[in-house]
Amino acid sequence: MSAEENKQLVLRFMNEFLGGHKFEALDELLGPTYTQHNPAINDSKEGLIGFFREFWKKHPTAVYEIKRVIAENDLVAVHYRWIVEPGVFERAIVDIFRVENGKLVEHWDVVQPMPEQSVNKHPMF
């Protein structure tokens, strides 16, 4: 698959699963093995479902705003703002996915709380 096709696959994941809470979308999106580098989530589709089932119970109105998507070869990075509770629980996140044979097979993330103040004049996004 091309970098652009990989990018579209990741955007489907973001929109259908992360934004739409559609667990069934993972059947099409994830590869037979799914390696998770986030220490709070187990490997596999079941690990991802278990984590987000509990998360969405606690935070059913959480939303995200994609700021940029970068794709190169088999890697796709998504930089976005995750708004769990506006003004209270917001994060700047970069998710990195590896794609193999048209499926998501590996995930890393970097998560940073949105700061109340900054020592410089540059916004997070």
Domain boundaries defined on the chain? 3-113
Write down the pTM of the prediction.
Answer: 0.92
Q: What's residue 111's pLDDT? A: 95
Which residues of the chain fall short of a pLDDT of 50? none
Q: What's residue 34's pLDDT? A: 96
Q: What's residue 19's pLDDT? A: 94
Q: Assign domain 3-113 one CATH number from 3.10.450.50, 3.10.20.30, 3.40.50.850, 3.40.462.20.
A: 3.10.450.50
| pLDDT-above-90 percentage for the chain | 87
What's the pLDDT tens digit per position in 54-89? 999 999 999 999 999 999 999 999 999 999 988 788
Nearest to 125 by CA among 69, 90, 79, 62: 79
| Element (DSSP H or E) covering residue 6 | helix 3-12
CA dihedral 92, 15, 37, 115 (to 10 degrees): 10
Q: Are 1 and 99 a contacting pair, CB within 8 Å?
A: yes
3-state secondary structure of 41: coil
Rama region for 102: left / alpha / beta (φ>0; ψ in -120 to 50; rest): left
